Amino acid sequence: MSATLFRGLVPWLVPYAAYLFDTAAGAGLRPRVTSVFRTRQDQARLWDRYQRGLSRLPAAPPGRSKHERGLAFDMTVQPPELAAAVGRLWQQMGGRWGGQRDPVHFEAPG
């Protein structure tokens, strides 16, 4: 059940995330969920790494990430070039995608 991969996400968002995951899996993209809910401390640690140039992916400052409110998740696909197609699907579903800058990031609208 892909829904269990999204523990920590707000409940209303879980079916959408699970649908995206299952669609990517069905297309053979081997999706992997790499981050869901983060505490403010988690986010502060990521922000610090990003500020020091130690992270390939961007991070929002603590208090500013939707991960801290259960409104975002990170998911990789293989090959990574197809992340844009998954991002477009998420956007068609009404969500926001991190784009080329943060291709693993999917979040709720608003």
Interface residues with Zn ion (CB under 5 A) are 74, 105
Closer CB to Zn ion, residue 68 or residue 74? 74
Q: Considering the complex, what minimum distance in angstroms separates the CB of residue 79 from Zn ion?
A: 20
Q: Considering the complex, what minimum distance in angstroms separates the CB of residue 23 from Zn ion?
A: 19
What's the CA gap between 87 and 78, in Å, rounded?
Answer: 13
SS3 72: strand
What's the CA gap between 65 and 23, in Å, rounded?
Answer: 26
Closer CB to Zn ion, residue 20 or residue 28? 20
What's the CA gap between 107 and 94, in Å, rounded?
Answer: 10
Q: Considering the complex, what minimum distance in angstroms separates the CB of residue 34 from Zn ion?
A: 9
